[in-house]
Amino acid sequence: MRLQATCAALAAAFATLATAGAASAQDVNLAFNAAVTNDYVFRGASQSNEDSALSGGVDATIGSFYVGGWASNVEFGDATDAEVDVYGGYRTEAGGFALDFGVVGYFYVDAPGGADYDYVEYKAAASRALGPVTAGVAFFYSPDFFGADETATYLEANAAFSPIDKVTVSGAVGKQWLDVTGDYVTWNVGAAYALTDNLAVDLRYHDTDVDNAPLYDGRVAVAVKLAF
């Protein structure tokens, strides 16, 4: 049922984008990204067992619609080799706010049978530039989350600003509500430095309020990111 729900939601997003693309194929924009990091951290938890990770992705934008895919190696202590995300959505503006509505499917390559890792999240986000600062909020909801958890909600507040040329300082604080494994708070703060127009280095500290779970402990992640 989980995989069917994921595929149905993503199929709707892709169908919408395809319709928009048929109307204005000349407006399709492609963007590619790649990164290497000493630790792949998602909502405060290491997804690579505190080891390095290599990731890459592609995004297609047609007007206000977008779809994309992204993948990274992961390490869960079992046969799972990689995470593959597929997503789509719609971006617009209203009252000075940038709005983003979308759906994300998370798939795990070679996950053990019965692990129930694959899931889908629905997203709604808003942000606004206030002078040199951009502040935002993001909301994610999953009807059937990763592993043992079923319904899950994540709410985050974030902000970013550039104090000097080529440097962006940013941070976020969020809460993950889970119906089985327990709720927790996570936060991160860091800075990115643009080496070139396409290459940047990001240094970030992540932490949570989870006790007695080493993969949720405070950690520093360094990533080199390429976008073109």
Residue 192's CB is within 10 A of a number of other CB atoms, namely 19
- Supply the pLDDT for residue 68: 98
Q: Characterize 81-97 residue by residue with b for buried, 16 or more Cβ atoms within 10 angstroms of its Cβ, and e for exposed.
A: ebbebbbbbbeeeeeee
The DSSP letter of residue 125 is E
Phi, psi for residue 12 in degrees, rounded to 5? -65, -40
Six token digits for residue 149: 């958890």
- Residue of 42, 176, 158, 12 lying closest to 98 (CA atoms): 158
- Supply the pLDDT for residue 5: 44
In whole angstroms, give the CA distance from residue 47 to residue 39.
8
* Strand (E) or helix (H) holding 4: helix 2-23
In whole angstroms, give the CA distance from residue 42 to residue 216.
10
Q: What are the residues facing 38 on neighbouring strands?
A: none
Contacts of 33 (CB under 8 A, 6+ apart): 56, 57, 58, 59, 70, 225, 226, 227, 228
- Supply the pLDDT for residue 6: 47
Ranges of residues in the chain with a pLDDT under 70 are 1-26
Residue 6 class from Cβ within 10 Å (0-12 exposed, 13-18 middle, 19+ buried)?
buried
- Supply the pLDDT for residue 10: 57
- Supply the pLDDT for residue 41: 98
- Residue of 34, 29, 119, 117 lying closest to 71 (CA atoms): 34
